[in-house]
Structure 1
Amino acid sequence: MKNPATLVNSLMLVLLLGATGSLRDALATLLMFTAVIGAYGVSMRPLRLRLTPQSLLLASVILATTLSSCFAILLQRWSLPWQQSVELYIGLLALQCVVLEHNGFFRQALSARLKRCVQFAGLLVLLALLRESIGHGSIGRHLSEHWQGLVLFSAGLPLATITAGGFILLGLLLAACQAWTRPTAPSKESPHP
């Protein structure tokens, strides 16, 4: 991979598609993500100055796996259903920390890191809300109650709750975002015959 951000983005894509089947799962994943990334960034800062690049990778792996395991145990103690919803992604969160460390994410300014994390959190919650409301029929049931002749998937659209539906919905959101931010200047292309 020539672009180092490609691996970071593909790891975040797994979280976006897998953990947004319901709002509860998305919030649990966001809680774990925030706790692990935050604790890792704080803990790794003093180690970064004292370690060689070769030992930095090993320390990064050990610290990330330790923190993600500890937070998983705390989450299990606090709320077992939430822990069970994110248990598939615990190892991925540790890997995410190591990849972010390798790409220099934790060496950036705090404002740049916060901006990236807030964007990810917003997209995670938005996608979870959309998938849950479309997939479980919240939108269709509400509309069919107020307008008797209008029935829009009152039982829900189950495609939205599976990973493929999440992928389609994420693609639609990205297309809408690009269309919204596209400049409105007319193109200077000549019409084709």
Structure 2
Amino acid sequence: MKRSLQLLALAPLLGCTDLLIKALGIGLCGLLVLPLCGLLLAPLRSRLHDNHLVLAALVIGGILASVAALTLQLLSTELAGALELFLPLLILPCLALALSDQNSALDGLRPALIFALVAVLLGALRELLGHGSLFAHADWLLGPAASGWHWSTGMPLLTHAAGGFILLGLLLALLRHFNQDDAR
């Protein structure tokens, strides 16, 4: 169950990593939300039972996701508009964090780093292979000087959510393959 919950925590990545800039945005928001959620959940673990801890994680995750959305709106309205449907899904990694067995205040840091790394990797691969560009809409995050970095070829399937599933599955299979080699 824990592994499937950890995979469910990657759900926000499937819809919003069709562009590297969007992946960077959701990754940065995950780097903000998950460590803060872990920090706020740490003192509650000894005081709350499992069901109440899950409810606390949902409330804390929802508040932090809203703060991340508002912060993103201040920085870039275009990027915030592109990610507005996916930012509330940052509650799922917070839920996985609440159900984990770890009790340290820094428990959210490792999942946040993994979340951001997978976001950037999926975003780069999906944009590069799907759109045939890299850093398209970079002006959303880096300003007008960064616009216009496009190529003309690509595989459009990889820009859709199904392509995200395909690439995520390939990356997980590759990771599993390397983990099996290390075990031998």
- Name the TM-score class by shorter chain: 0.7 to 0.9
CA separation in 2, counterparts of 1:52 and 1:155? 53
In the other structure, the counterpart of 1:39 is: 36
Q: Following TM superposition, by how much is the alpha carbon of 1:120 offset from its aligned partner in structure 2, in angstroms? A: 3.1
Q: 1:124 aligns with which of 108, 111, 119?
A: 119
Do structure 1's residue 168 and structure 2's residue 156 form an aligned pair?
A: no
CA separation in 2, counterparts of 1:19 and 1:181? 28
1:3-58 superposed Cα distances (whole Å, 9 cap, x missing partner): 2231221231x223212100011011111111111221222223334445554343
1:98-120 superposed Cα distances (whole Å, 9 cap, x missing partner): 23202335x2584x754444333
What RMSD, in angstroms, separates the aligned Cα atoms of the two structures? Answer: 3.1
In the other structure, the counterpart of 2:2 is: 4
In the other structure, the counterpart of 2:16 is: 19
Question: In structure 2, the residue corresponding to 1:88 is in which secondary structure?
Answer: coil
How high is the TM-score relative to the length of structure 2?
Answer: 0.74
CA separation in 1, counterparts of 2:111 and 2:172? 16
Structure with greater contact order relative to length (CA < 8 Å, sep ≥ 6): 2
CA separation in 2, counterparts of 1:175 and 1:53? 32
In the other structure, the counterpart of 1:85 is: 82
Q: Following TM superposition, by how much is the alpha carbon of 1:179 offset from its aligned partner in structure 2, in angstroms? A: 4.4
In the other structure, the counterpart of 1:96 is: 93
For the 8 Å contact 1:28–1:85, the answer to whether it is kept is no
Q: Following TM superposition, by how much is the alpha carbon of 1:127 offset from its aligned partner in structure 2, in angstroms? A: 1.5
CA separation in 1, counterparts of 2:181 and 2:57? 42
CA separation in 2, counterparts of 1:35 and 1:100? 14
Which consecutive unaligned segments of at least 5 residues does structure 2 have? 135-150
Q: 2:157 aligns with which of 150, 159, 173?
A: 159
In structure 2, the CA distance between the partners of 1:58 and 1:17, relative to structure 1 (3 Å rule), is: closer
Q: Percent identity?
A: 39
In structure 2, the CA distance between the partners of 1:157 and 1:58, relative to structure 1 (3 Å rule), is: closer
Moved more, 157-166 or 170-179: 170-179
How high is the TM-score relative to the length of structure 1?
Answer: 0.71
CA separation in 1, counterparts of 2:162 and 2:51? 39
CA separation in 2, counterparts of 1:45 and 1:183? 35
